[in-house]
C-alpha cells in the first residue's frame, strides 16, 4: 500500500514537471512569435519608407519633366472636316518589299532627350563606379560594413550621417542597425 502511494506521488511529481516544461516551451514560442511580429512591423515600416523615398524621387523627376514644354504632335489641335459628306476611309499606300516604313510619331519622342538628360544630371552625384575589387568585396559576405555601421551608431551618429560617411543608402543603414547582422 505504501509502495503504491509512493509510486503515485512520484507519478504526480513527474506529471507536474512535464506540465511545467510544456508551459515554459509554450511561453518561449509566444515570446518568439511576438518578436517576429515586431520585426515584421519594422520591416513594413522600412519598406514603406523606401517606397515613399522612391515615389518622391519619381514625382520630382516628373515635375521637372512637366516644367519643360515638349514639342509633340499630340499637342496640336485636330481640325474637324468642313464638308458634310462622309469621307472615304483612308487606305495607306502599300510599301515596296525593300522599303522600310517608319511612322513619324515614333521618330519624335514626347520629351526631348536633352531635357531628360538634364533632369538626371541635376541629381546630386551618386557613388563613383565600382572597381572590380570593390564589387568583389560587396559580393562577399559583408561583416566589416555592418561593424562600421554599428561602431558609428555607437558614437551617436545619425542614420543619415552614417549613410553619407559609408556611401550607403539610408534604408540599408537602418536595416543593418535593426537586424544587427
pLDDT tens per residue, range 25-66: 999 999 999 999 999 999 999 998 899 899 999 988 888 888
Q: What is the pLDDT of residues 107-159, one digit of tens each?
A: 554 666 777 777 777 776 665 666 655 665 565 544 457 788 888 888 999 98
% the chain with pLDDT above 70: 63
Task: Tell me if 113 is assigned to some domain.
Answer: no
Domain end position, chosen among 72, 90, 115: 72
CA of 12: how far to CAs of 2, 6, 18, 23, 26, in Å? 15, 10, 10, 16, 21
DSSP 77: P
Total domain count for the chain? 2
Task: Tell me if 92 is assigned to some domain.
Answer: no
Confidence (pLDDT) at 28: 95
Domain span at residue 175?
141-181
Task: Tell me if 34 is assigned to some domain.
Answer: yes
C-alpha R_g of the chain: 34
* Model confidence, pTM: 0.32
Task: Tell me if 86 is assigned to some domain.
Answer: no
Beta strands of 9-96 (E only): which ranges?
none
Confidence (pLDDT) at 22: 96
Task: Tell me if 131 is assigned to some domain.
Answer: no
Confidence (pLDDT) at 105: 47
Task: Tell me if 157 is assigned to some domain.
Answer: yes
- The owner of cell 472636316 is 81
Task: Tell me if 54 is assigned to some domain.
Answer: yes
CA of 88: how far to CAs of 10, 80, 82, 85, 126, in Å? 104, 15, 14, 9, 57
Confidence (pLDDT) at 76: 54
Backbone φ and ψ of 180, nearest 5°:
45, 55
Task: Tell me if 8 is assigned to some domain.
Answer: yes
Confidence (pLDDT) at 70: 55
Domain end position, chosen among 32, 49, 72: 72
Amino acid at each position: 500500500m505504501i509502495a503504491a502511494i509512493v509510486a503515485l506521488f512520484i507519478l504526480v511529481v513527474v506529471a507536474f514537471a512535464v506540465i511545467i516544461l510544456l508551459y515554459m516551451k509554450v511561453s518561449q514560442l509566444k515570446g518568439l512569435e511576438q518578436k517576429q511580429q515586431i520585426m515584421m512591423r519594422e520591416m513594413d515600416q522600412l519598406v514603406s519608407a523606401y517606397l515613399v523615398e522612391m515615389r518622391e524621387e519619381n514625382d520630382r523627376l516628373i515635375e521637372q519633366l512637366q516644367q519643360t514644354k515638349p514639342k509633340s504632335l499630340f499637342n496640336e489641335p485636330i481640325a474637324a472636316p468642313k464638308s458634310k459628306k462622309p469621307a472615304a476611309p483612308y487606305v495607306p499606300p502599300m510599301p515596296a518589299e525593300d522599303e522600310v516604313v517608319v511612322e513619324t510619331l515614333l521618330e519624335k519622342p514626347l520629351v526631348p532627350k536633352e531635357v531628360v538628360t538634364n533632369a538626371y544630371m541635376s541629381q546630386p552625384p551618386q557613388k563613383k563606379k565600382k572597381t572590380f575589387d570593390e564589387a568583389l568585396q560587396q559580393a562577399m559576405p559583408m561583416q566589416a560594413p555592418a561593424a562600421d555601421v554599428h561602431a558609428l551608431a555607437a558614437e551617436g551618429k545619425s542614420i543619415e550621417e552614417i549613410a553619407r560617411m559609408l556611401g550607403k543608402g539610408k534604408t540599408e543603414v537602418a536595416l543593418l542597425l535593426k537586424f544587427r547582422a
